[in-house]
Amino acid sequence: MLDLKFIRDNIDAVKTNTVNRHVSANPDLVVELYDKRNALLRELENQRALRNANADKMKVKLPPEDRARLIEEGKRLKESIAELEKQHEETEKRLMEEAKRLPNMSHPDAPVAEGEGGNRQLRTWGQPPTFSFAHRDHVEIGQALDLVDFESGARVAGQKFYYLKNEAVLLELSLLRYALDTLRQEGFTIFMTPDVAREDIVAGHGFNPRGPESNIYTLEGTDLCLVATAEFTLGGYNAGKILAAESLPIMFAGVSHCFRREAGSAGQFSKGLYRVHQFTKVEMFVYCHPSGSDAMLERLIGIEEKIFQGLEIPYRIVDTCTGDLGGPAYRKFDIEAWMPGRGEKGEWGEITSASNCTDYQARRLGIRFKEGGKNTFVHTLNGTAVAVSRTLIALLENFQKEDGSIELPQKLATYTGFSRITPRSAAK
């Protein structure tokens, strides 16, 4: 959530940002409610002072008529205060509801555009492979090598669920361990987090836990949600706390299953493992001093590059445009891997993102640090280390061989214990 005084003092910039982010929100109404709330609070404080002064006058002996007058005045003030308190509570509630609709401000260098087509390519790494044979997409490969079973997943759990089988199971475990080892070397504290979080924690990160447009699964009869990312559980870890300034930055990395409804996400690039309802992910989350969050975002994207360079997967980095940032992010960089089976000639597909959310989430979650005798909101950042399902797509499609096998990159083979996946009939 944005600072309310900032919204009032920078209303034109906030309105422009809301338009650029293509968000349905009303900054003018927020300012109106903010001023009304403040006016009610001033009047409430004035009425309470009058009530106290009236009570003080009754502490001395008074003529009956004066005491009666003061009693009547006390009753009037009590009724007035009760009405003002009701108005203040209602206005405060509506103010918070409207303010939470506003997105974070955008970095001045973020491209102003809408949709993936407005993202700006910053750099590439690696060379997309060329094939002398008719290459296949990951769905064909996974089925041919008996690695993924979509049909049974749909029959047992529904569409966009799946079973990983055989070497694919070991690939998932190896990718998780590889990512965690990398992050431990970078100074992260690693976690295995809960797969559920309370609705207020999810909302505190800037995600809508309920409603027809929500991608969050909620658990009936509870205030719990299945997490869409370990960002929720890692960020919620310090909700409501005041952190020591000298402890910053605090760098967490968490493994969790991720559950997403992916409502309305059907399309030619959504098949197979690309958009699924459940996958495993290693997520980075950082609590940072405000002065260091821009540099920390660069560090997170550098760690993501290190991981995928180790996997020898060609990729590009894009600066995400304002219309594609989502509510909490101030700036976001995505890594898009080359996926040869995507479209007729291959395409880039997102496999990680790294975001600087400044103090937007910290205000909602109440996470501060003490410095110079003052409590200040931290900046929070998040980044994907490895999202297993999409990483599997890139591995299967980029490292396929003419004989139908998959030759793994050396870094990953040291974790799996095998360097090649061959068709069942040819396997020894």
Shared domain for 47 and 136, answered yes or no, is no
| Count of domains for the chain | 2
Shared domain for 204 and 164, answered yes or no, is yes
CA distances (Å), origin 379, targets 190, 293, 369? 20, 7, 10
174-185 pLDDT, tens per residue? 999 999 999 999
CATH number, position 36: 1.10.287.40
38-63 pLDDT, tens per residue? 999 999 999 999 999 988 888 888 88
CATH number, position 203: 3.30.930.10
CA distances (Å), origin 190, targets 174, 184, 282, 311, 378? 16, 7, 9, 21, 20
What is the per-residue DSSP string for 18-65? HHHTT----HHHHHHHHHHHHHHHHHHHHHHHHHHHHHHHTTS---HH
Question: How high is the pLDDT of residue 428?
Answer: 38
Average pLDDT over residues 415-426: 87
Question: How high is the pLDDT of residue 268?
Answer: 63
Question: How high is the pLDDT of residue 267?
Answer: 62
Question: How high is the pLDDT of residue 330?
Answer: 97
Question: How high is the pLDDT of residue 266?
Answer: 59
260-281 pLDDT, tens per residue? 998 656 566 778 999 999 999 9
Shared domain for 90 and 179, answered yes or no, is no
Question: How high is the pLDDT of residue 426?
Answer: 47
Show which of 99, 133, 154 is a domain's final residue. 99
Question: How high is the pLDDT of residue 372?
Answer: 87
Shared domain for 153 and 84, answered yes or no, is no
**Catalytic residue check, 73:** no
Measured in degrees and rounded to the nearest 5, phi and psi for residue 259 equal -120, 125
The range of the structural domain enclosing residue 42 comes to 4-99
The catalytically annotated residue of 353, 355, 363, 364 is 353
Shared domain for 409 and 282, answered yes or no, is yes
Question: How high is the pLDDT of residue 427?
Answer: 43
pLDDT surpassing 80 at residue 212: no
**Catalytic residue check, 275:** yes
**Catalytic residue check, 350:** yes
303-343 pLDDT, tens per residue? 999 999 999 999 999 999 999 999 999 999 999 999 999 98
Question: Does a structural domain hold residue 106?
Answer: no
The catalytically annotated residue of 350, 355, 363, 368 is 350
The pTM score is 0.92
Shared domain for 92 and 205, answered yes or no, is no
Question: How high is the pLDDT of residue 264?
Answer: 58
Higher pLDDT, 34 or 64: 34
The catalytically annotated residue of 260, 299, 331, 368 is 260
CB-neighbour burial class of residue 327 (10 A; exposed 0-12, middle 13-18, buried 19+): buried
Shared domain for 172 and 279, answered yes or no, is yes
Higher pLDDT, 264 or 299: 299
The catalytically annotated residue of 231, 363, 390, 397 is 390
* Residues facing 258 on adjacent strands: 279
Shared domain for 264 and 324, answered yes or no, is yes
The catalytically annotated residue of 8, 76, 101, 275 is 275
Question: Does a structural domain hold residue 205?
Answer: yes
Question: Does a structural domain hold residue 105?
Answer: no
Instruction: Give the whole-angstrom CA distance, residue 345 versus residue 348.
Output: 10
